[in-house]
Amino acid sequence: DSGVTQTPKHLITATGQRVTLRCSPRSGDLSVYWYQQSLDQGLQFLIQYYNGEERAKGNILERFSAQQFPDLHSELNLSSLELGDSALYFCASSVEGTGTGELFFGEGSRLTVL
Amino acid sequence: EDKVVQSPLSLVVHEGDTVTLNCSYEVTNFRSLLWYKQEKKAPTFLFMLTSSGIEKKSGRLSSILDKKELFSILNITATQTGDSAIYLCAVDGGANFGNEKLTFGTGTRLTIIP
């Protein structure tokens, strides 16, 4: 158990809909990262937050947005969903300031868009 | 854009065999290279390498980095069925200390046959 909690574990929805994925980082971790893993694809970095502020942005679509709240949990919002958005969405957190690069991943939220 | 390429894409061996997984990379601001193991869901951290030629070892797993040739290998000796997983290589190209900008490869799917 990494200490990172993601909900929901599974989500099935229809095209055009909007969903919210939630992540609670490990206790004490200030950084939260969101990754997308599609079938046969590596982990694609979406976005990073540090202590409530956006720190880095990857290949995140305009239909997607995220935020980190004062209690450090984070939410990833996916809107106008398309079939191609079906994927495993991971949240990870890290001990900020060490520069170790070690991320602790949650179990992921599997999104299926029908 | 940072890039990580892993080979082979998949590998099937018998229990007891030794395997070598490869990872090559292109990154602007290299800070470290990391290996993760992904079994059913969440990737878990194996190694972080920052210096060339220094082997990191943990039990039957070992890894080495060549910063001149821009690659790393992960060796697993005396493989066991529990080693079956996807092995992910990632490069930290974070320009700023504390900004873990990880770019992942697509992974090598290793299957160990009893």
Residues 6+ apart with CB under 8 A from A72: A24, A25, A29, A30, A32, A51, A52
In three-state secondary structure terms, A84 is: helix
DSSP secondary structure, A8-26, as one string: -SEEEE-TT--EEEEEEPP
| B104·A45 Cβ contact <8 A | yes
Interface check for B103 against chain A (CB to CB < 8 A): the answer is: yes
For the stretch A83-106, pLDDT in tens is 999 999 999 998 765 555 688 999
pLDDT (average), residues B70-98: 88
For the stretch A101-112, pLDDT in tens is 688 999 999 999
Distance from CA of B33 to the nearest CA of A (A): 8
* Chain B residues with beta carbon closer than 8 angstroms to that of A104: 45
Closest residue in chain A to residue B5, using alpha carbons only: A42
| pLDDT mean across residues, chain B | 90
